[in-house]
Amino acid sequence: MIESNKKPLIEVKGLKKVFKTRGGELVALNNINLKIMPGEVVAVIGSSGSGKSTLLRCMNLLIAPTEGSVHFDGETIFNSESPVDINIDQVRQNIGMVFQQFNLFMHLTVKNNLHLALKKVLNLPNEEIEARITNVLETVNLSDKIDSYPGELSGGQQQRVAIARVLAMRPKLIFFDEPTSALDPELTGEVLEVMKRLVTDYKYTLVVVSHEIPFAREVANRIVFMDEAEILYEGGPDTLVNPPNERLKRFLSKILSAR
């Protein structure tokens, strides 16, 4: 792979996140250095509490890191040493995020859920909004559900609407935080299928926190294993077949046996 002349789409340097808790302080991230190149698909795995969600939230500035810097698309968007003047709304538009919970408005149709997001965030003309809605619903295979309410859809379909809502913003990068964890097992496939299409057909850059190991093996270029607030290991997808690290090996056998 010739990537030496490419610049990372997002990079974090020396990232640390400390939460103040009643008992004192909790280090959720420690000494995190990570580069994501354009077009890469990075799967982040690790035990519950190891810092995966906190990493995503620090990278898109949903929460402020305690130390370190974040660089996105050639721009420093956070630096704990010196405040940077950036348009945070623009950053968040460019870094889409899909959560475990779909967070749809239940009293609005699919169309109006998407419409609201596009109007509120981007304030696009209605014609452009309509065109984008048609387009993204095709991408997630839900054109026929445009006038349905979320309550009339399965969990898998609702998550695909949530993905469509992110796509409609035309982000440069999308984070997925356990997108299939709230779904019944038989519904995870359709969501993973859509995510795969984002990579194969649309060449999206994705960072996916997920324990869907077969998906990670097939779609990810890189596996990042987090353990106790640190990146313990980074490697190619083969890492999941022949884990070169004892703790990773133990983690993988734990999640495989949980199935």
Residues that bind ligand ADP (CB under 6 A): 19, 21, 26, 28, 46, 48-54
Q: How far apart are CA 129 and CA 108, in angstroms?
A: 16
At its nearest, how many Å lie between ligand ADP and the CB of residue 95?
17
If the CB atoms of residues 136 and 251 are measured against ligand ADP, the closer one turns out to be 251
E-only strand ranges, 82-239: 95-98, 173-177, 206-209, 222-227, 230-235
Q: Which is nearer to ligand ADP, 50 or 69 (CB)?
A: 50
Q: What distances in angstroms separate CA 137 from CA 125, 130, 146, one per listed residue?
A: 18, 11, 8
Least Å distance between CB 47 and ligand ADP?
A: 7
Q: Which residues contact 176 (CB under 8 A, 6 or more apart)?
A: 97, 98, 195, 206, 207, 208, 209, 210
Q: What is the distance between the alpha carbons of residues 220 and 45, in angstroms, rounded to a whole number?
A: 12
Closest to 122 (Cα-Cα) out of 92, 85, 142, 150: 92
When the beta carbons of 40 and 227 are compared against ligand ADP, the nearer one is: 227
One-letter amino acid of 252? L
Residue count of the chain: 259
CB 38 within 8 A of CB 94: no
Interface with Mg ion, residue 53, by CB under 5 A: yes
Among ligand ADP, Mg ion, none, what binds residue 240 when CB lies within 5 to 8 Å by partner kind?
Answer: none
Of 26 and 255, CB closest to ligand ADP: 26
Strands 67-72 and 75-79 come out as antiparallel
Write down the least CB distance from residue 6 to Mg ion, Å. Answer: 29
Count interface residues toward Mg ion (CB under 5 A). 2
CB of 181 to Mg ion, least distance (A): 9
Q: Which is nearer to ligand ADP, 66 or 112 (CB)?
A: 66
Q: Which does 241 bind (CB under 5 to 8 A by kind): Mg ion, ligand ADP, none?
A: none
Smallest distance from ligand ADP to CB 125, Å: 38
Interacting residue ranges for Mg ion, rule: CB under 5 A: 52-53
